[in-house]
């Protein structure tokens, strides 16, 4: 499971934090990165608040906090700008995952929230080059239109594939009916 | 002096060995002052006692150590280590004979950590203490409040949330425990403290949920903390009531219900929380501009109560609520119209608000940048998707569990001799005993 990927590491780090007095910046960096990836923004904010003052000067932590602020304000442009950074080894994989996840989220959101969107605005939000955008959009089957000088994209809402098994559902329904009848 | 301490150690050792823990628990409170006076050599005393075998003795030495912490000024690390050791290795059977002393030790330990700014190290210890002393998982103990306080101070809620998420069905109070232990002399203050720790638990819990932005749950906790049951009013209740009003605005947009016992609220709380009632009234007018001005006017009071953040959240929630109201009237609207109707600064800001609301699923709409219009849609949920089925499923399971729990509790009450006596005594006809359900609504009766 993709979203459970970091759970073990997270548990370990959280435990470590509860038991030790002086922690290095690295633990906090990893914790912060995982919170961001799991979209636990309130946790990330609280983490930033409890990081000791002297560690707050750590460049990477500062940067991670800026990412969190951008996410909290739903400021996509700033987020994609800030994530372009030379991350250290311990958070790099998480950051890459986060980037992929947020890109996906952005396109799902624009797909459902916009009937039409100017290419410029989309480029600004996603912080992509025109070619990158073209590729991403082509995969989603969006329609392109020309409005004067500007390009407009007409997104197509994504359909969610059905999940869950029928047998399971039937079983649970039977359980429920049994309860009602008794 | 030394011989008095030797007596103490001997007493603990012989009585623990012979298993007369009740007598020991009754005698020990008298030696606290003796121990506290001899704080300098308590470590030697500890060396002669074993946590597992002489839990009660060690507990009182710890208590004395914490009592004398102000004068003795011990190494924080040492105290923490002692406490950690104690909660991990003590003998719960013995501990139950001196629950009051254990609660007191925990309270003192918490205060000590907060003072030393080391709250984060106490969280696990307190959690372990709660696990040990509660008889069932849904029992609330006075030290729950300590756990919450430490978590709040340390701003670390991962662990405490697991304790808050469960429902509380039983309360362990120091007064009740002490009654069984015949320590009447201090019972009166204990009863007051019980109320205090009960209120504190819900107040802190509400603050924790507010911090992690689980406003529904926070509202419930603040409601519990501001529902006044006793005759006298507590300051905790007042503060909880203020926060209750604020969170209620954020969650519901109005004050859905005033907690019971309106008399106390009308007489004491309302006049003391007048700013907050003004805020509620202005919020009801749906004018963001007026709300902003009012918050500015009262900003000093809100900041003093450290409720400024909540006030700002309320402002944002009003913008959102107004946009939501538009969706009920209009099918399409231009972005600049939206901005002027809900008093936002311009089309761009309106677009940002709408996009955020779509993202969080508060409204269903699509934005057309080409014409600068927004199209409001109905909830696309047709209640035929597997996800929705799963959702309904979990809700049903929850309700079923709740029904079971209620049935179980009702049974307990019906079987309670006190209840049977009262139910039969107050009403002469036998109808009541045949229909005990009429009483189940009020278990305190």
Torsion of CA B237, B238, B240, B243, to 10 degrees: 170
Decide if A176 is inside a domain: yes
Of residues B352, B369, B400, nearest to A114 (C-beta): B369
Helices B55-67, B99-116: axis angle to 10 degrees equals 40
The domain of A17 spans 1-99
Q: Does B301 touch chain A (CB under 8 A)?
A: no
Structural domain includes residue A107:
no
**Sorting pLDDT into bands at 50, 70 and 90, what band is B344?**
confident
Average pLDDT, chain B: 80
**Residue A119 and residue A167 in one domain:** yes
Where a domain ends, among B183, B212, B241?
B212
Taking CA atoms, what residue in A is nearest to B126? Answer: A18
Q: End-to-end CA distance of chain B, in Å? A: 53
Mean pLDDT of B225-247: 78
How much is the mean pLDDT over chain A? 80
Does A6 fall in a domain? yes
**A105 pLDDT higher than 60:** yes
**Of residues A14, A74, A152, nearest to B359 (C-beta):** A74
Would residue B160 count as lying in a domain? yes
Nearest residue on chain B to A116, judged by CA atoms? B368
Identify the domain boundary among A52, A71, A99: A99
- Which of A50, A74, A152 is the closest to B154 by Cβ? A50
Of the candidates B158, B355, B370, the beta carbon closest to that of A116 is on B370
Residues A17 and A74 in one domain: yes
Question: Which residues in chain B are closer than 8 Å to A118, comparing Cβ atoms?
Answer: 369-370
Q: What pLDDT, on a 0 to 100 scale, did the predictor assign at position B232?
A: 66
Total domains present in chain A: 2
Could you tell me what percent of chain B has a pLDDT over 90? 4
> Are A91 and A126 in a shared domain?
no
The answer for residues whose C-beta is within 8 angstroms of residue B318's C-beta and 6 or more apart is B253, B283, B286, B288, B291
pLDDT at B262: 60
Q: What's the rounded Cα separation, in Å, for the pair B255 and B324?
A: 18
Number of structural domains chain B divides into = 2
Residues of B whose CB is below 8 A from A143: none
Of A31, A66, A99, which one is at a domain's C-terminal end? Answer: A99
Reported confidence tier of residue B433, pLDDT bands at 50, 70, 90: very low
pLDDT over 50 at B183, yes or no:
no
3-state class (DSSP) for residue B218: helix
Q: How far is B37 from chain A (nearest CA, A)?
A: 31
Nearest-neighbour CA in chain A from B48: distance (Å): 28
Q: Which residues contact B32 (CB under 8 A, 6 or more apart)?
A: B60, B63, B64, B67
Nearest Cα residue in chain A from B77 = A21
Q: From chain A, pick out residues whose CB is under 8 angstroms from the CB of B118.
A: 21
Residue A109 belongs to a domain? no
Cα torsion angle, A28, A34, A37, A42, sign? negative
B417 CB near a chain A CB, below 8 Å?
no
Residue A70 lies in a domain: yes
**Residue B6 in this model has a pLDDT that exceeds 50:** yes
pLDDT: which is higher, B433 or A72? A72
Q: What is the mean pLDDT of residues B431-438?
A: 47
- If DSSP codes are grouped into helix, strand and coil, which group holds residue B366? strand
Phi, psi of B80 (to 5 degrees): -60, -45
Of the listed ranges B42-51, B53-62, B188-197, B299-308, the least confidently predicted one is B188-197
CB contact under 8 A, A113 and B212: no
CA trace torsion B83, B87, B93, B97 (10° rounding): 40
Residues of B in contact with A179 (CB under 8 A): 400
What percent of chain B stands above pLDDT 70? Answer: 87
By the 8 A CB rule, do B112 and B121 touch? Answer: no
Residue where a domain stops, chosen among B212, B231, B265: B212
The last residue of a domain, from among B212, B236, B256: B212
Q: Based on the domain organization, do A128 and A69 belong to the same domain? A: no
DSSP track, A47-102: HHHHS-GGGGG-HHHHHHHHHHHHHHTT-HHHHHHHT-S---TTTHHHHHHHHHHH
Q: Which residues of B touch A152 (CB under 8 A)?
A: 369-370
Min distance A110 CA to chain B CA atoms (Å): 9
**CA-based nearest residue to A114, from A134, A143, A136:** A143
* B138 in a structural domain: yes
Q: List, for residues A26-80, the tens digit of each pLDDT value.
A: 888 888 888 888 888 888 888 888 888 878 778 888 888 888 888 888 888 888 8
Question: B206: pLDDT confidence band, cut at 50, 70 and 90?
Answer: very high
Q: Cβ–Cβ of A112/B358 closer than 8 Å?
A: yes
Whether B120 contacts chain A with CB within 8 A? yes
Tell me the residue range of the domain where B404 lies.
Answer: 394-439
B373-376 sheet: strands from edge to edge: A143-147, A150-154, A114-118, B365-368, B373-376, B332-334
A vs B, Cβ pairs < 8 A, gives 82
Q: Is residue B31 part of a domain?
A: yes
- What are the tens digits of pLDDT across the range A140-162? 778 888 777 778 888 776 665 55
Summarize pLDDT for B115-165 with one digit per residue, the tens: 888 888 888 889 988 888 888 888 888 889 999 999 988 888 888 888 888
Q: Going by C-beta distance under 8 Å and a sequence separation of 6 or more, which residues neighbour residue B200? A: B145, B148, B149, B236
Contact B389 A21 (CB under 8 A): no
Q: Is there a domain that residue A142 lies in?
A: yes
The residue out of A47, A73, A99 marking a domain boundary is A99
Q: B387 touching A, CB under 8 A? A: yes
Let me know: does A96 contact A84? Beta carbons within 8 Å: no
Query: Are residues B386 and A163, on separate chains, in Cβ contact within 8 Å?
Result: yes
Residue A87 shares a structural domain with residue A122: no
Are A62 and A91 contained in the same domain? yes
Q: Do the domain assignments include residue B304?
A: no
Residue B386 to residue A116, Cβ atoms within 8 A: no
Q: What is the pTM of this model?
A: 0.81
The answer, yes or no, to whether residue B403 has pLDDT greater than 60, is yes
Chain B hits for A114, Cβ within 8 Å: 366-369
pLDDT at B174: 65
Write out the E strands in B121-279.
139-140, 170-171
CA-CA distance, B273 to B252, in Å (whole number)? 19
Enclosing H/E stretch for B382: none
Q: pLDDT: is A170 or A48 the higher one?
A: A48
Residue A12 confidence (pLDDT) above 50 = yes
**Quick check: B387 and A46 CB within 8 A?**
no
Q: What is the CATH number of the domain that holds A177?
A: 1.10.10
Beta strands A150-154 and A143-147 are antiparallel
pLDDT, tens digit, for every residue of B56-94? 888 888 888 888 877 777 778 888 888 888 888 888 888
Chain A residues close to B366, C-beta within 8 Å:
112-115
**More confidently predicted of B190 and B33:** B33
Position B444 pLDDT exceeds 70: no
B161 touches chain A (CB under 8 A): no
Shared domain for A64 and A11, answered yes or no, is: yes
């Amino acid at each position: 499971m993709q979203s459970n990927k970091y759970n073990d590491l997270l548990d370990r780090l959280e435990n470590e934090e509860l038991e030790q007095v002086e922690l290095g910046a690295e633990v906090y960096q990893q914790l912060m990165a995982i919170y961001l990836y799991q979209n636990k923004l309130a946790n990330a904010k609280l983490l930033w608040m409890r990081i000791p003052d002297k560690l707050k000067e750590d460049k990477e932590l500062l940067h991670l906090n800026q990412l969190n602020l951008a996410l909290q304000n739903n400021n996509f442009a700033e987020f994609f700008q800030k994530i372009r950074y030379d991350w250290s080894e311990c958070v790099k994989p998480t950051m890459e995952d986060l980037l992929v996840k947020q890109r996906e989220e952005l396109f799902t959101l624009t797909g459902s929230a916009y009937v039409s969107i100017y290419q410029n605005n989309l480029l600004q939000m996603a912080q992509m080059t025109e070619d990158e955008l073209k590729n991403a959009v082509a995969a989603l089957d969006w329609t392109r239109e020309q409005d004067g000088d500007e390009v407009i994209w007409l997104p197509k809402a994504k359909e969610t594939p059905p999940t869950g098994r029928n047998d399971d559902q039937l079983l649970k329904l039977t359980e429920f009916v049994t309860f009602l009848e008794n | 002096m030394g011989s008095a301490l030797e007596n103490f150690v001997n007493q603990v050792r012989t009585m623990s060995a012979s298993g007369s823990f009740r007598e020991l628990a009754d005698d020990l409170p008298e030696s606290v002052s003796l121990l506290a006076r001899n704080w300098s050599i308590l470590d030697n005393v500890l060396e002669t006692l074993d946590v597992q075998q002489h839990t009660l003795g060690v507990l009182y030495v710890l208590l004395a150590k914490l009592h004398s912490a102000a004068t003795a000024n011990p190494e924080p690390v040492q105290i923490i280590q002692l406490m950690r050791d104690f909660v991990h290795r003590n003998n719960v059977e013995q501990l139950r004979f001196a629950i009051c002393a254990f609660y007191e030790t925990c309270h003192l330990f918490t205060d000590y950590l907060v003072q030393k700014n080391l709250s984060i190290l106490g969280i696990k210890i307190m959690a372990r203490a709660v696990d040990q002393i509660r008889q069932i998982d849904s029992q609330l103990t006075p030290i729950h409040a300590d756990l919450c306080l430490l978590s709040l101070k340390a701003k670390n809620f991962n662990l405490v949330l697991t304790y808050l998420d469960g429902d509380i069905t039983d309360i362990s109070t120091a007064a009740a425990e002490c009654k069984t232990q015949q320590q009447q002399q201090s019972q009166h203050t204990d009863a007051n403290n019980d109320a205090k720790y009960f209120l504190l638990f819900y107040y802190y819990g509400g603050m924790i949920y507010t911090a992690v932005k689980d406003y529904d749950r926070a509202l419930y906790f603040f409601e519990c903390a501001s529902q006044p049951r006793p005759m006298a009013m507590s300051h905790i209740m007042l503060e909880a009531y203020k926060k209750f009003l604020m969170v209620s605005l954020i969650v519901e947009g109005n004050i859905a219900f005033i907690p019971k016992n309106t008399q106390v609220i009308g007489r004491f709380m309302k006049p003391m929380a007048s700013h907050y009632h003004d805020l509620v009234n202005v919020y009801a007018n749906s004018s963001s501009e007026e709300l902003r001005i009012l918050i500015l006017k009262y900003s000093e009071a809100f900041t003093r109560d450290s409720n400024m953040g909540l006030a700002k959240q309320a402002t944002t929630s009003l913008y959102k609520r107004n946009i939501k109201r538009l969706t009920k009237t209009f099918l399409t609207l231009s972005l600049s119209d939206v901005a002027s109707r809900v008093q936002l600064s311009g089309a761009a800001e309106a677009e940002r608000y709408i996009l955020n609301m779509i993202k969080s699923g508060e409204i269903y709409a699509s934005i057309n940048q080409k014409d600068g219009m927004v199209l409001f849609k109905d909830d696309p949920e047709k209640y035929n998707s597997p996800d929705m089925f799963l959702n309904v499923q979990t809700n049903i399971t929850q309700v079923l569990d709740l029904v079971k729990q209620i049935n179980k509790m009702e049974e307990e009450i019906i079987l309670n001799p006190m209840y049977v006596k009262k139910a039969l005594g107050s009403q002469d006809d036998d109808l009541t005993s045949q229909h005990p359900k009429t009483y189940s609504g009020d278990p305190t009766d």
